[in-house]
Structure formats: structure tokens, C-alpha cells
Structure 1
Amino acid sequence: MKFEELSEQSQEAAREVLVYTLKKEIDSRGDIASNRAKYLTHAIRNSFIALEAEQPKRGSGED
């Protein structure tokens, strides 16, 4: 699954988490390395993809 295939709600939530995480990182360290920013971006993206992929569909009886 690609990021673009996530629901709009998941995409927006992932963006908000990324912004919050990057701000905290910059506040904590004063700066953020490019490779660290990429790592965080990929980790957040992969987390949201995993969450949405395992989410049972409504009415599927898998609740």
C-alpha cells in the first residue's frame, strides 16, 4: 500500500504527526539531520499504512 492509498483521514493524521514530531525534534536538538527527518517520515508513513491495513472493515464480523 502506498501513502496515497490511505484514507484522507489517515493521510491528514500522518501529516499532523510528522509535523509534531519534526517540531519536537528541532526543539530538542535545535536542528534535524536530513537522514533523521527521512527516517521519521518513513517510520510514520509505515505505521499509518500498517494501522489502516489491519483495521477490520465495518460489517465484516472481524471486530
Structure 2
Amino acid sequence: MHTHVHGPDCDHDHDHDHVHGPDCDHDHDHHHHHRPAAPVHNPLRNVGRNDPCPCGSALKFKKCHGK
């Protein structure tokens, strides 16, 4: 009995885990196909430490959300 090594010329049915490679021609619906991430936006970037806190607390930013 000889052991079969699976490759691009293999023509029998594979009912086991498949190793993906450059010659793989089936649909890959896996998590490694990502859309580009949206850029991160920091809404507090332009708030100074001594400015009023944008949350509306009437405190300075450094005493409220700037900690």
C-alpha cells in the first residue's frame, strides 16, 4: 500500500480538512478576507485641558473626562 500525497494534480474526492494554497480553486468564505477598517476619530482631540468639558458638566475638561 502506498500513501497518497495531495497536490494540484490530485483528482479524487477530498472529504477531510483542506490546506489552502495558490492552486486552491474553491470558495474561501473565511475571516481572512477583511474590509479596510474605518479610520479612528477622536472627538476630544481639540479640547484643551482648561476648556469646558464637552459632556456639559460645567467642569473643566481636566477635572471631568480628561483624567
Q: TM-score, normalised by structure 2?
A: 0.22
Q: Which has the higher contact order (CA 8 A, sep 6+)?
A: 1
Provide TM-score, normalisation by structure 1.
0.23
Whichever structure has more helix as a proportion of its residues is 1
